[in-house]
A and B are shown apart, each in its own frame.
Chain A
Amino acid sequence: MAGSIRVRSRREGEFLELKVLIEHPMENGRNRDAAGNLIPAHFIEQLALTLNSQPLVTVNMAGSVAKNPFFSFRLKQAADGDVLRVAWRDNHGAGDSAEHRIELNR
C-alpha cells in the first residue's frame, strides 16, 4: 500500500493547516458488486498523526467515512523542520505511513 498517503501543509492565518488524503476504498460491507455479491468490509479503523513523535490527533472510524478519506486539521504552532507522521491501519491489518516535513516559508 505504499504511497497511499498525501499530505499538504500551508499557513492559514495564525495556524498551519494540514491536509491528509488517503487512497482507500472504505467499503462498509453492505455494497454489492456488479454480479450482486456483497463486497466484504474493508475500511480504515484508525488514523494517527504525530508531530515530532508526539501524538497530535487519532481518528477511530468505521466504513461510514467516505471513500478516499480526506481530513484537515489546524496546528496551533509549528516550526520549520517539524516532522508530521501520518499512519493508518485497516480492518484487514494492512496499513501505511508517511512523513511530511513542515516548511513554513513555502
Chain B
Amino acid sequence: MTCSRRNFLKTSGVLATGGLLAAGASDSRAARLAEDFATGDFAGRYASLFGDQTVSESELIQLILPEIAEDGAVVPVTISSELDGIERLYLLADKNPTPLVAEFELTPLLALHLTARIKLAESSRVTLVASREGQLLRCSRWVKVMRGGCGSG
C-alpha cells in the first residue's frame, strides 16, 4: 500500500481540526496529531506511527544521551547526522507513559545537529526514527535513570 498513514489522515479530513488550530496559533506547516502524543505503550505507538513500513537500523544518525542520567526529569539529548534530506525525526522513550516525546519537522536550512532536554520516567531505551526520502532510519540508546522524572512522560 503506497498511501502513507499521514496522507491518509490528511485526505480523510482527520487533520482538519488540528490544522485550523495550528494555523491560528503558530507558523507551523503541519498539524500536530494529538493521537501521536497520547499515552500508551511503546509497541502500540511505534506500530501506529510506522505501520508496516521498513525501518532500518542506521549508524548514519547519531543519538547522544548520557548512559546514566542522575535526574530523569532533565535528560539532555543530542541528535546529529551528516545525511542531507532528513525531513522528520521522531524521538521515543520506550518506557514513558507518553512514548512519543517529540517530533521534529526539519527544513534544508538546518544542519542536523540539535539538542533538547527530555524526561524519562525510568531506565529505558530511547529510540530515534528519521524519515528521509520515504525511508525510515532508526537508532537507539539505553539510558539508566537513577531518579525517575516524577510522573514524567
B140 at interface, CB cutoff 8 A? no
Q: Compute how far the CA of A40 lies from the CA of B151 in the bound complex, rounded to whole angstroms.
A: 12
Closest to A61 in B: B102
CB-CB contacts of A38-56 with B at 8 A, as 1s and 0s? 0000000110101101111
Q: Compute how far the CA of A38 lies from the CA of B100 in the bound complex, rounded to whole angstroms.
A: 22
Count, A-B residue pairs, CB within 8 A: 138
Contacts of B93 in A (CB 8 A): 64
**How far in angstroms is the closest Cβ of chain A from B145?**
13
A-B contact pairs, 7 of them (CB 8 A): A64-B98, A65-B101, A69-B117, A70-B117, A71-B115, A74-B111, A75-B111
Contacts of B98 in A (CB 8 A): 28, 62-64
Closest to B33 in A: A60
Within the complex, which residue of A46, A66, A73, A87 is in contact with B32, where a contact is CB–CB below 8 Å? A46
> Which range holds the interface residue count of chain B?
35 or more
Within the complex, which residue of A30, A48, A67 is in contact with B27, where a contact is CB–CB below 8 Å? A48
B25 at interface, CB cutoff 8 A? yes
Contacts of A28 in B (CB 8 A): 97-98, 119, 151-153
Q: Compute how far the CA of A70 lies from the CA of B119 in the bound complex, rounded to whole angstroms.
A: 12
Task: Decide: B114 and A88 in contact? CB cutoff 8 A.
Answer: no
Task: Decide: B26 and A73 in contact? CB cutoff 8 A.
Answer: no
Q: Compute how far the CA of A55 lies from the CA of B21 in the bound complex, rounded to whole angstroms.
A: 17
Contacts of A73 in B (CB 8 A): 110, 113-114
CB-CB contacts of B32-46 with A at 8 A, as 1s and 0s? 110011000000000
B82 at interface, CB cutoff 8 A? no
A57 at interface, CB cutoff 8 A? yes
A31 at interface, CB cutoff 8 A? yes
CB-CB contacts of B86-124 with A at 8 A, as 1s and 0s? 000000010011101111111111111111111100000
Task: Decide: A59 and B102 in contact? CB cutoff 8 A.
Answer: yes
Contacts of A87 in B (CB 8 A): 25-27
B49 at interface, CB cutoff 8 A? no
Closest to B101 in A: A64
Q: Compute how far the CA of A75 lies from the CA of B107 in the bound complex, rounded to whole angstroms.
A: 10
Q: Compute how far the CA of A72 lies from the CA of B111 in the bound complex, rounded to whole angstroms.
A: 11
